[in-house]
């Protein structure tokens, strides 16, 4: 299932970039910063940008932050503020919290208080993260000009169908190079765990199962075709 509603808190270079890329991918973004000059500068760049103190839970609640699919915390000046905002987002039950970090210690602390995903603030990382958030299971590696290897979560429409039946090569000029599958196992504590199995290359008769990830090689202009598959 796609994530479509996001809150980006802190509109420095990284926050502004991730908000821009998320909107470009089709997401609905609530962009928040406490600095009125930054908000005025960016007010025409996004559909919704507001001046607000994100360390106030009532403010976040009134803005509807508790209803977003994911929140990105991009506070550059204060580690303490980022930690406190994370705790408030957890209290508002935001399902996915992403934070910009500056060091391994910063990363460790934020993960302790509930951040699900951390990222270091290069702008190209912002673009990749936007695609990953908007398209769960997404991963991309440019192999050569015009050709990429992508990993996607198998859409529901693929489940129970064979590689041959889907005709991905014929329809999208995409070649399935591997299927990643999690098989249930019983660990040493007699608890159910999962072991990843790589099927590479899959035979034409291989059927896709729920939870599978598919590794494809396709031309860059075909990558977006997979985004809206359900």
| Residue (of 188, 187, 177, 179) closest to 158 by Cα position | 179
Q: Helices (DSSP H) in the chain: which residue ranges? A: 13-24, 36-42, 57-62, 79-91, 104-112, 123-134, 163-166, 168-172
pLDDT at 88: 95
pLDDT bucket at 201, cuts 50 / 70 / 90: confident
**CATH class of the 5-134 domain in this structure:** alpha beta
User: Is the model more confident about 127 or about 189?
Assistant: 189
User: Is the model more confident about 86 or about 120?
Assistant: 86
The percent of residues in the chain predicted with pLDDT above 90, rounded, is 37
Give the tens place of pLDDT for each residue, 112-148: 888 988 887 654 556 666 666 665 555 554 444 466 7
Q: How far apart are the C-alpha atoms of 91 and 5, rounded to whole Å?
A: 18
pLDDT at 24 over 70: yes
pLDDT at 47: 82
The gap between the terminal CA atoms of the chain, to the nearest Å, is: 8
Q: Are strands 70-73 and 97-100 parallel, antiparallel or unpaired?
A: parallel
User: Is the model more confident about 51 or about 196?
Assistant: 51
In which residue ranges of the chain is CATH 3.40.50.720 found? 5-134
Length of the chain: 230
Tokens linked to 94: 């935001």
pLDDT at 28: 92
Mean pLDDT value of segment 198-226: 85
**CATH class of the 139-226 domain in this structure:** alpha beta
In which residue ranges of the chain is CATH 3.30.70.1450 found? 139-226
**Statement: the pTM of the whole predicted model exceeds 0.75:** no
Tokens linked to 158: 């693929």
pLDDT at 14: 85
Give the tens place of pLDDT for each residue, 25-69: 888 999 999 999 999 998 888 889 999 999 999 999 999 999 999
């Amino acid at each position: 299932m796609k994530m479509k509603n996001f809150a980006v808190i802190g509109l420095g270079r990284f926050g502004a970039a991730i908000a821009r890329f998320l909107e470009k991918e089709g997401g609905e973004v609530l962009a928040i910063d406490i600095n009125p000059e930054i908000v005025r500068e960016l007010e025409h760049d996004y559909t919704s940008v507001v001046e607000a103190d994100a360390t106030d839970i009532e403010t976040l609640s009134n803005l509807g932050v508790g209803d977003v699919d994911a929140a990105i915390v991009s506070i550059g000046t204060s580690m303490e503020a980022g930690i406190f905002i994370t705790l408030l987002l957890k209290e508002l039950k935001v399902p996915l919290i992403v934070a910009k970090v500056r060091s391994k210690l910063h990363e460790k602390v934020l993960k302790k208080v509930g951040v699900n995903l951390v990222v270091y603030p290069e702008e190209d990382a912002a673009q990749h993260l936007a695609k990953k958030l908007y398209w769960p299971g997404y991963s991309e590696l440019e192999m050569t000009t015009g050709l990429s290897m992508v990993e996607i979560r198998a859409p529901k429409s693929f489940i129970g169908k064979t590689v041959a039946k889907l005709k991905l090569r014929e329809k999208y000029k995409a070649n399935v190079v591997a299927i990643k599958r999690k098989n249930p196992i019983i660990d040493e504590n007699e608890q159910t765990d999962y072991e990843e199995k790589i099927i590479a290359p899959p035979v034409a008769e291989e059927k896709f199962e729920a939870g599978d990830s598919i590794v494809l090689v396709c031309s860059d202009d075909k990558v977006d075709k997979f985004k809206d598959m359900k």
